[in-house]
Structure 1
Amino acid sequence: MLRSVLTALAAIVTVRLFRAAFSDGDNADVGRAACAIVQLGDAELAADTGAVSDGGALDTLLAINMSLSDKEWQSKFAKENGDAIAWDSDDNTHKKSNPEWAAKWPKWVTARQNIREKAAASEAIKKTALPTLTDSEKKIARQLLAAIVAEATGAEAELNNANSLLAANSNSKIKAAVNTAIYGDDKGGETTYKKAGAVSGVPATPASCMTDGVSGDAGPFYYTFLCICLEAGNNQKKTCSKTATSGSQWSNLASNGKTVYNNMRKICPENKKTALSAANIQATKAALMSHTTLQSDVGYLGKYDANCDGASANSLCVKYTSKVSNTKNDIETLPWASKLTEAATMLEKQQAAQTEATRAASKLKSKLNAAWTIGQTAKVLANARGSGGIPSNQPAANRAEKSGEDCGAHKKNTTCPAANCKWEEKDGKGECKPKDVEGQTKTAGGDGAAGTTEKCEAKLEKYCKSPHCKWESKTCKDSSFLVNKKFPW
């Protein structure tokens, strides 16, 4: 009876040992998935290229703007010898009277320096119609340029913001995040698992394989890779490969981490061509976690039976004691997983910032191209105004007032309306007049100095009235002319 009981017990133990024993290739599939994550650390990223540049477009645009201002305004930013006047300089007389200029002062100074003789922008300006503009043509040019400068200033802010994001999500910072996720240091394991001596500062025994692959705050992914691919007390099993052994065991980490690393990379070859993208990072993580299984409602990664200590009588695995169960999945909170997610997010931000920076820089260049044509456009508009053909995009009051002399030339009711005028009769006499001059004059031009200038310069003498306009030297002038001497932005 006793013999039969012992025989039965021996059979049970034999079955238990058979079930627990780790067989060659048991972790080959999960090993390939784990290797794909290790290979993320092999990816080579290009050196940081730095900020996206507009090629000097904004500086040149502001130089054009400065060239159209009067000498009095230009003199505020340069001494008689041409040297720049810094904001804090004693030569700057506007520090107290105009403190709000402080932020714009450096750009104004740069613009002034860029129109000095032989400066690149100055030489480029000479090749356009800008230097030949008359005073009246300059007024038109300044008004046209003001809108371009405003849009360019907005594009500059967008470019600066995008470049700040590029700096915060540079290739070097992304690579450091990936290295930290995999090896526990931003140098790619040089101070941890690739050390020629004993491994330190990161888990180096199989004990933490039973606690989520984390020891304290340290839980790099390479340690998880070791948990499912490195034996304890033996090195002859084909752990994560169906053809090659690991060649090392856990105890070797106490003497030479570099040797263990080299052996492990034989079953997980380095791949410097690995694509490092947000999509690839997330895909490799998902592929790995698809191998997670539940045992007694607790999550495991890799071959499991009784333990995850790497012994041949047990298994090679990671037990997610506090992270994965039948009711939760907190894998993303593991140090390596959260750090890889951080790297993926940085890659997405980098791509978006690169697109935005390129767009903003292109916009600035297009605004400069538009500015180069302003001189010729101003001449055409001034010529049209002088011949009575005020362009239709000018205020209606200007067009009506400019046509006042033409209306007065019509003495018959039959020809007056055809000239876009109106015929008025009083006491049996008729007079041909411009249509609604007074009403249009009150609304034309809008707010600000530019609008006032446009209202005044085209008025006939009888319509040139204060407070905004005054008749002087046979011309209607803006009574607040000094306002127009200021920079148009």
Structure 2
Amino acid sequence: MIVKVIAAIIAVFLASQTEAAAGDNLKEFGLLCQLVAACETGMPTTAAVDKADISDVLDTLVAINLSSADDEFFNRNFEEVQGHADDGNYTKYKARWKKLKANTLKRKIGSSDELLQRLPDNSLRRHVQLEALAAIEATQAAQAQLPEAKTAAQINEELKAVLYGADQQEAATESGKTFGTNGEAACGNDGSADNAAGRSLANDLVCLCGGNGGNTPAEGCLHTGATITNKFTGEAAGATSYTEIKGKCLHKDGVPTVSVERLTALASHFKTLIGVHAAGTSAKNYHYGKGGAATCSAANQEGCINYKHQLETANRGIQWLKTLQEAIDDMRKQQTRSAAIQQLESKAKEEERKVLLAYKQAQAIASLASATAAAQGAQSSKPTKEEQNKCAKFDKNETHCPPDSCDYDKKQNKCKPKSGSESTAETTGKQAGEGAAGTGPNCGQYTDPEKCAKAQGKQKDGKKSVCGWTDFIDRQEKVEPKFFDSIFLVNNKIYPMAAFFMSLVSFEGLSLNFMRLIKIYKNSCFDIIL
């Protein structure tokens, strides 16, 4: 009696493990549905993710470089080809240089249009050009070092291959593309021979729920009474069967953004469900889905896919799962590249800010120096009290009013100093010392303090030399004036060069510390303007 009871219990237990029940494959079906939805959604294909947006920054840097170039280069005809065949830099930039010149160096910087004017021909202009060239080189070098990665569009093609098979962007009915030729070939049968199980996610979905007879497979994936109209009878019917089954997924709406983490989690969960229904039956150790028999053939029984051949054959594996892993790896690389692109764009903006600031400072120094020189010239043109007294003593005495330094005003009967107190000889002497047309000494040509101090030309009044030299001790953040003879006159006050720089630490909302300003002039020979 006891033996019979035990036998009955065992029979009931085994029956509960093998008999079909609606919804037995609900978990497996739901997971495949989530994978389908994720692969169909794909990654966003915005250009910013794949490519650095620094063209505007480079255009600004090139424009500032051109605005500070020497006259011989700036005045070139950039349509010329002869003589530049081996100059890759000329070939690369000539069209951009031509366009910038034609547009008067106008650039869109921030929210406003900026007219980048030519800087005056002095040693400071060369410093601005060097700043621009260094920024262009640094930005392009950083761009060249961006890690390689597939684009979002290319990764989405991989995800389509997960769904529909290698190189397929939609479900195909041709042989060997998306589905197996029949139920046995598509679903793995007993796993003893090569088959199409795992060829595509679409193939495995119809094996699990499609069936080629009644609706038992549909009930296993869904619920009692569930039906599938388009049965999976072979590859010719695969696409329509897949479309109908996919339409019964419960995860059609509100699909979250596709991510490495989500796809990795789904792939890991999928692998844990292989063989969970084996219940001691070794033939089912590689089954995905409960299955009504030891073989998987899309018959009228609870569906399954047998991956025995794929998982026991060296270097084979489940093809769509391998493609999914490749896509996940490419997404990781793409994320690394995207982060590097963001860093590059920030660095490029910072380089643009630095060079633009150097340009504005050079422009400000030139403008202030010009205005100060004009004011000083106007002041020097006024007659001194001594000159006035020298002439005034001959008021009402035209005969003795000295004609070389005074003019006699007959209407007022006054002897007055001549307008422009400098004599012809003095003017000639200054022009000879400064160079033709008063261009001033070319101090920028000197590269060491000794030659700078011995520059030829007439010295300004009260100055020890024609040119001045500054030296910067790097990494110690202090200025050592080895030869520091230049001054500026601003608002009737005398300022050393360093103090004048200090007055420019803020210009049009752009700030920079004193060391940055001095670095523009480090180890430099410059014109003594005043």
Q: TM-score, normalised by structure 1?
A: 0.62
Q: Name the CA distance, whole Å, in 1 between partners of 2:39 and 2:240.
A: 18
Q: Name the CA distance, whole Å, in 1 between partners of 2:129 and 2:70.
A: 15
Match of 2:228 in 1: 247
- CA shift, 1:55, in A, is 4.8
The reply to whether residue 207 of structure 1 matches residue 184 of structure 2 is yes
Match of 2:39 among 38, 41, 45: 41
Match of 2:215 among 235, 248, 251: 235
- CA shift, 1:56, in A, is 1.6
Match of 1:409 in 2: none
- CA shift, 1:249, in A, is 6.9
Match of 2:269 in 1: 287
Match of 1:307 in 2: 295
CA offsets 1:374-433 (integer angstroms, 9 cap, x no match): 2443377797x99999766379998323469xxxxxxxxxxxxxxxxxxxxxxxxxxxxx
- CA shift, 1:34, in A, is 2.0
- Pairing of 1:179-198 with structure 2 (within 5 A): 179-184=160-165, 188-192=169-173
Dislocated runs of 4+, deviation >6 Å: 12-18, 122-126, 328-331, 379-383, 385-392, 394-398
Match of 2:472 in 1: 393
Match of 2:92 in 1: 106
Q: Gaps (5+ residues) in structure 2? A: 1-9, 370-442, 444-459, 487-519
- CA shift, 1:127, in A, is 4.5
- Going from structure 1 to structure 2, the CA distance change for 1:290 and 1:216 (only over 3 Å counts) comes to closer
- CA shift, 1:280, in A, is 1.2
- Going from structure 1 to structure 2, the CA distance change for 1:214 and 1:32 (only over 3 Å counts) comes to farther
RMSD: 4.7
Q: Which amino acid aligns with 1:191?
A: A
Match of 1:115 in 2: 101
The answer to whether the Cα contact below 8 Å between 1:34 and 1:225 also exists between their aligned partners in 2 is yes
CA offsets 1:157-193 (integer angstroms, 9 cap, x no match): 433664x94xx6333222221111112265643434x
Q: Name the CA distance, whole Å, in 2 between partners of 1:60 and 1:103.
A: 17
Q: Name the CA distance, whole Å, in 1 between partners of 2:242 and 2:36.
A: 11
- Going from structure 1 to structure 2, the CA distance change for 1:246 and 1:223 (only over 3 Å counts) comes to farther
Q: Highest relative contact order (Cα 8 Å, sep 6+), 1 or 2? A: 1
The answer to whether the Cα contact below 8 Å between 1:233 and 1:249 also exists between their aligned partners in 2 is no
Q: Which amino acid aligns with 1:361?
A: E
- CA shift, 1:282, in A, is 1.0
Q: Which amino acid aligns with 1:184?
A: G
Q: Which amino acid aligns with 2:481?
A: R
Q: Name the CA distance, whole Å, in 2 between partners of 1:230 and 1:213.
A: 22
CA offsets 1:269-302 (integer angstroms, 9 cap, x no match): 4626423221111111111111122643843221
The answer to whether the Cα contact below 8 Å between 2:208 and 2:221 also exists between their aligned partners in 1 is yes
Q: Name the CA distance, whole Å, in 2 between partners of 1:381 and 1:212.
A: 86
The answer to whether the Cα contact below 8 Å between 1:202 and 1:215 also exists between their aligned partners in 2 is no
Query: Is the partner of 1:115 in helix, strand or coil?
Result: helix
Match of 2:457 in 1: none
Q: Which amino acid aligns with 2:482?
A: A
- CA shift, 1:53, in A, is 2.1
Q: Name the CA distance, whole Å, in 2 between partners of 1:48 and 1:373.
A: 32
Q: Name the CA distance, whole Å, in 2 between partners of 1:15 and 1:184.
A: 40
- Pairing of 1:27-426 with structure 2 (within 5 A): 27-43=25-41, 45-49=43-47, 51-78=51-78, 84-85=79-80, 89=81, 92-95=82-85, 99=86, 101-116=87-102, 118-121=104-107, 127=115, 131=118, 133-136=119-122, 139-159=123-143, 162=146, 165=148, 169-184=150-165, 188-192=169-173, 202-208=179-185, 209-210=187-188, 211=191, 215=195, 219-237=199-217, 238-243=219-224, 245-248=226-229, 251-253=232-234, 256-269=237-250, 271=252, 273-274=254-255, 275-293=257-275, 295-296=281-282, 298-304=285-291, 305-312=293-300, 316-324=303-311, 333-378=317-362, 393=472, 399-402=481-484
Match of 2:423 in 1: none
CA offsets 1:28-73 (integer angstroms, 9 cap, x no match): 1222122211222331654543733225221221121122122212
CA offsets 1:227-277 (integer angstroms, 9 cap, x no match): 222334212451212356241475544664344224312432462642322
Q: Gaps (5+ residues) in structure 1? A: 1-11, 79-83, 405-449, 460-489
Q: Which amino acid aligns with 2:36?
A: V
Q: Name the CA distance, whole Å, in 2 between partners of 1:191 and 1:399.
A: 79
Query: Is the partner of 1:336 in helix, strand or coil?
Result: helix
Query: Is the partner of 1:52 in helix, strand or coil?
Result: coil
Query: Is the partner of 2:307 in helix, strand or coil?
Result: strand
- Pairing of 1:417-456 with structure 2 (within 5 A): 454=523
The share of aligned pairs that are identical, in percent, is 17
- Going from structure 1 to structure 2, the CA distance change for 1:338 and 1:272 (only over 3 Å counts) comes to farther
- Going from structure 1 to structure 2, the CA distance change for 1:213 and 1:239 (only over 3 Å counts) comes to farther
The answer to whether the Cα contact below 8 Å between 2:206 and 2:232 also exists between their aligned partners in 1 is no
The answer to whether the Cα contact below 8 Å between 2:232 and 2:298 also exists between their aligned partners in 1 is no
- CA shift, 1:336, in A, is 0.1
Q: TM-score, normalised by structure 2?
A: 0.58
